[in-house]
Structure 1
């Protein structure tokens, strides 16, 4: 199974759009950034939801370098979201974006969300929430609920606006937080498995803790760890970071209210 088996990005005559979304924990760019850039570029994503983006000294400079190296542009997040970050191709129009800090649990690392509403073509609009949930089980479960609340606040709960959550959940599919998200959203891998399943660790995959989950308005065309990437070998995937990426092809419907969104 290769990347050619996953639908390519395109805009349909009815205004809907096929969007490739990549979720990737990059471990603060502490590994082989050349290999990382090769992996991302080979996936040809429209949107990249990054976890563990640089968030300390000169973090904006490092984020800009990653965007340039991958042929993408910075949308939002990074230090301002305590790690989650969204990049996109020039195909996407940014209608709005916001970084959200989640409540802090004393003694634990504070978590946040990078969020944006992106438009593809004139009418296909997608609410994106990028997250990296807690290592602590109780906090992680609570954060899953806050992720769903945020998606609803963006208008992607019951209306026509399509929505997607992507990130490092630090939980497996049978875990409480993962099940809380999958109880409302559709787990991409479970819906349309493509490529590989296990995401951690990159050197010896044994767990699926990274995921892309979508609202009912989104058609999941394929989702999983990409395989058969041109110019990318198994060594690159192991060297890039300690997680494997998750790539999804999503059909985003035309939103009747999305024919003239503002940019910013």
Structure 2
């Protein structure tokens, strides 16, 4: 099957910015770190919203090394956000960052958000990388916290992405999709299912955008130069999600 090209990053004459956003659960780099970096480079993202970044011994060193191999820089997150991490290209101008830890449920993993506000020329964008709970009630509550945190960023346009740990029919996923644009549902591109990388049979990873952002395409990347099925399988147990978005220029 021939897949149409995903738009490249660029600044439009009206000041809006076309950006490429990647969401990727990298399983704490326990598989093939070089394959993860090759996948990221092949996608040519402006922003990478990572889940399950290294968060224990020398985690900052691991994050910095992945960023360097991917030809990006660390923006925020990691252990201080309980796993979510943000990487960006030098095209992004950083306004502020904040790592947020969510309430801890005894017996379950701590969850958090890596957040930032960045600019691409005249376009201004809020970001949240998330990895929601495996337990349904906690996951639903965390979806509400994510929406509250997006509102607290106090920017007209924002993107939230990550491992939702639930298919689109689930309550938490539907809670997010009721207020945000689900990139795959709006403008499907590439593949759909993200889990597992060796047997993709369900979509549990997603990129969401606030109304006003134009989704130009979103899905599991396929057919990109330098992107191989072998690397996608070897890198981690999830497939990445790549989106091209047009973010309007901020109103002065």
Q: Deviations over 1:8-30 (max 9, x none)?
A: 00001111000100000000001
Q: Does 1:100 align with 2:100?
A: yes
Name the CA distance, whole Å, in 2 between partners of 1:6 and 1:72.
20
Look up the match of 1:80.
80
- What secondary structure does 1:125 align onto? strand
- What secondary structure does 2:126 align onto? strand
Look up the match of 1:109.
109
Q: What is the number of residues matched between the two proteins?
A: 252
Q: What 5-or-longer segments of structure 2 have no aligned partner? A: none
Look up the match of 2:145.
146
Shift of 1:193: 0.2
TM-score between both structures, scaled by the size of structure 1: 0.94
Equivalent residue for 2:232, pick from 233, 237, 259: 237
Contact in 2 for aligned 1:163/1:217 (Cα 8 Å): no
Name the CA distance, whole Å, in 2 between partners of 1:128 and 1:155.
11
Q: Deviations over 1:86-107 (max 9, x none)?
A: 0000000011110001111111
Alignment of 1:30-49 (within 5 A): 30-49=30-49
- What secondary structure does 1:220 align onto? strand
TM-score between both structures, scaled by the size of structure 2: 0.98
Name the CA distance, whole Å, in 1 between partners of 2:2 and 2:245.
17
1:2/1:167 Cα in 2 relative to 1: closer, same or farther (>3 Å)? farther
Q: Deviations over 1:125-181 (max 9, x none)?
A: 11011000000000000000000000000124xxxx211110000010000000000
Contact in 1 for aligned 2:128/2:150 (Cα 8 Å): yes
Shift of 1:5: 1.1
Name the CA distance, whole Å, in 2 between partners of 1:231 and 1:213.
26
Q: What 5-or-longer segments of structure 1 have no aligned partner? A: 258-264
Shift of 1:2: 6.6
Q: Deviations over 1:192-211 (max 9, x none)?
A: 00000000000000110000
The RMSD of aligned alpha carbons is: 1.0
Name the CA distance, whole Å, in 1 between partners of 2:2 and 2:88.
23
